Amino acid sequence: MSPGLLLDCDGVLADTERDGHLPAFNATFEEFGLPVRWSQEEYGRLLAIGGGKERLRILLEPGLVARAGLPTDEDEQRELVARWHRAKTQRYTALVRSGALPGRPGIARLVAEADAAGWRLAVASTSAEESVRAVLEHAVGPELAVRFDVFAGDVVPHKKPAPDIYLLALRETGLDPREVVVVEDSANGLRAALAAGLTTVVTVSSYTRDEDFTGAALVVSSLGDPPEEPATTLADPRGLEVDGAVGLEHLQRLLGPQQGATP
């Protein structure tokens, strides 16, 4: 069986949280007349909550509900959150498609290497599928994007750090967990992948550099595109000795000579 490369979206394909999701949330609050504006610092804390709708639900605390004249009925609140999230997703997707959020260093290169070697490619994310597909296409290009299975949004009951999205990806692709490398950017994502029994590389993003990545097989600043944007190694417990760029040979070494071998 071919090995698999599973990627998170936000922070892995592109550094989307600060420059994409946050302004889309704030523009949506303004559109709906909500007296809310999340700062970069506050949004960084909110990233501990997996999923955009889940973050929006914290607005439904009694004080804001009363102040903004929001409904108190649970069904009406659920529909309102869904409307907010649809509007935010449309804004965010338009921003991505404008080209404002380029792929992170090394992502297109590594994906091309894995595809050429016959690796199975997939994205596993708690973001809305429409957003994920837009980011994916811009990060790796349309020809490689169609090679991916995409598992995203509300397709599982529990979002990261629960392992559900990765367990779904394994079931649907038929991949052996021993033959899979995940690339994540956050502690929540790392915990989800580890709970699914998956070897995980972390590429830290603007919000996650200081998080606890115990259990990661490798932690780097990015996958790297030297000489302009080389990767810096932050933790290397497996002794891979990455020199500026994480390549397919490093992923093969993480899996071992049999699982990671090129077909």
Please list the active-site residues: 8, 10
H-state helical runs in the chain: 16, 22-31, 40-46, 52-56, 62-68, 74-97, 107-116, 129-140, 142-145, 164-173, 187-195, 248-255
How is residue 142 written in tokens? 């349309």
The helix/strand/coil state of 255 is helix
Rounded to whole angstroms, how far apart are CA atoms 241 and 11? Answer: 23
Tell me the torsion sign for CA atoms 249, 255, 256, 262.
negative
How large is the greatest C-alpha to C-alpha distance in the chain, in angstroms?
A: 61
The helix/strand/coil state of 6 is strand
Query: To 10 degrees, what angle do helices 107-116 and 248-255 make?
Result: 60
Residue with tokens 């990627």: 7
Q: Give the per-residue SS3 of 158-174.
A: CCCCCCHHHHHHHHHHC
The helix/strand/coil state of 256 is coil
How is residue 215 written in tokens? 């259990």
